[in-house]
Structure 1
Amino acid sequence: MTSPEREPAQPLPAVAPQPAVARRTAPLLVQLGLACVVALAGLACNTMTSRTLLRLADTARLWPMLANLASVLLLLVCLGQFLVWRQAQQEWTGRKDVSLIHLLTPSALGRWVALACGLAGPYAAVRIMQASSTQEASWGWALAGGICTVLATAFGGIHRFDPAGPRGVVPQRWERGREVVTDELLAAHVDPEADTVILRRQHPGS
């Protein structure tokens, strides 16, 4: 008597996907990508600042060099943070087994570098603006470069990798904060809409 043929077992996935974490990481990757673009724009602005300032004999070259160095380092950090989170996203989606522990150190170091660049870049931009007048092109380029440096640091460079997943991007945190405030108001029997609604709820027969 022949034994019934058994169906071949389906291969188990190498990594168990974590859809909740992957869902939170997806908008963060978009934010980090935009931060890379802003950092690149800041580098372009600081380069134009250097080109205009080098024509002035009485302008110190230290501050344009510092602004350019901060822009280059910040761009590398933002790109590194994007690649780190994208590697982790491959594991959380179940596509690739990634050693998340090895991603902690470079991401943490990148955060400190980004903070240093976020302070040095705007400071150099302020010194450049003080050395030039508002009618000169270098003043506007320095202002734009300093703003881009701050934005790239806030939205990209400081996002250190967390094996538990991201806490959320700025719109998600605003939405979560609004939900918390609404829950507290409801717990205190306060309606955030209007006083007439409160009276209507207190006197349903009226």
Structure 2
Amino acid sequence: MCGRFAQAQSREDYLATLGDGFERAIPWDPEPLAHYNVAPGSRVLLLSMDEEDTLHLDPVIWGYAPEWWHKAPLINARVETAAQSRMFKPLWQHGRAIVFADGWYEWQRVGDKKQPYFIYREDKAPLCLAAIGKTPFDAGNEAEGFVIVTAAADEGLVDIHDRRPLVLTPQAALAWLHPDTSANRADELAHEGALPADAFAWHPVTRAVGNVKNQGPELVEPVDKTHS
């Protein structure tokens, strides 16, 4: 799954990963976001594309709970079922988005404790996490925000957790966002355009990341598991 991640670089750093062949309705802002411990329920910068093929970046609540849903907001959607499910089918068709991230956190049980790990691209490039949500994204809806799409973990990643966020290549991310991309094509992109497990690296990090009040670059730094 994906229940915590880092979104610490600047908007410009993230957008640069997509190249420059697009229009943007996004003000220039080189300041780092410095969000090292993003948790569900917080507002996250979410990338979307409108009918004029223009990119937008809006602060949107991480979590989705439509009026008929009387449980805690959902934060993830399984790629295997989202396109057909009652909950997520409309979002898959008309609410595809991208969450930029530097990496995400997962916890692995070690004895009677849980050890957090930070997982990131081995080349340290920003991640394009596939997401779906309720449009329009600039409406400020407190209940119907977005969820991150997850896939089954494979190879070494499964040792940390059996699920992982669906991370798309920049080219696949732009296609995922495009309003002309059909729901079926989006399903294909989720498989063809996903980064493989060998594109990632990971290391143990401090257990301080378990407290959402903690923020700072030290949260993503590697530590000795016996002293974390």
Higher relative strand content: 2
- The structure whose Rg is larger is 1
Shared fold by TM > 0.5? no
The structure whose RCO (Cα within 8 Å, separation 6+) is larger is 1
